[in-house]
Amino acid sequence: MWWICYILRGKRTLRDMLENLDDFQVDLSDAGKEVVVQAYVSLIKRQSGFISGLVVVLHDITEQQRIDSERRMFVSNVSHELRTPLTSVRSYVDALAEGAINDPEMAQNFLGVVQDETQRMIRMINDLLELSRLDQGTDGCET
């Protein structure tokens, strides 16, 4: 039982676990290294209802937490990178719709920007699709 106390380090008491059998996560730090464990708790009861024990299964989810965090950051960065050219495209299309289309030189410049930004987004999306194929272990080629 001492190892449960060591691992939980006062974050959950035995009484907490007995009163609330929900699974929980505990963030730990050991020598500068962060460790996250998922704890699964189950009571051992006799037929009379007397609680004769407690089983706590700990699962190290540190790596999964790191991956999830990096994935969230990646999605946030990609969203920002796609929003920037979309905002530019929208501004130029709005300007064209509000009358800039009647000025042939300005319209040509605005359409050039829209084309460039659209190509930029297509390249980013193609890169994302390639990353997805690599992540899934395929290279996109039929064998």
Amino acid at 99: G
CATH of domain 65-135: 1.10.287.130
Q: What percent of the chain has pLDDT over 70?
A: 73
Q: State the pLDDT at residue 4.
A: 47
**Domain boundaries along the sequence of the chain:** 2-60, 65-135
Q: Which two tokens stand for residue 104?
A: 């042939």
Amino acid at 84: T
pLDDT digits (tens, 9 = 90+) for 67-119: 888 989 988 998 898 899 999 999 999 999 999 999 999 999 999 999 999 99
Unique residue bearing structure tokens 């992540």: 135
Q: What angle do CA 131, 134, 135 make, to 5 degrees?
A: 85
Q: How confident is the model at residue 5 (pLDDT cuts 50, 70, 90)?
A: very low
Q: State the pLDDT at residue 109.
A: 94
Sort residue 23 into left (φ over 0), alpha (ψ -120 to 50) or beta. Answer: beta
43 pLDDT above the threshold of 70: yes
Reference 12, options 33, 29, 26, 32; nearest CA is 26
Q: State the pLDDT at residue 13.
A: 63
What architecture (CATH level 2) is domain 2-60? 2-Layer Sandwich (3.30)
pTM of the model: 0.57
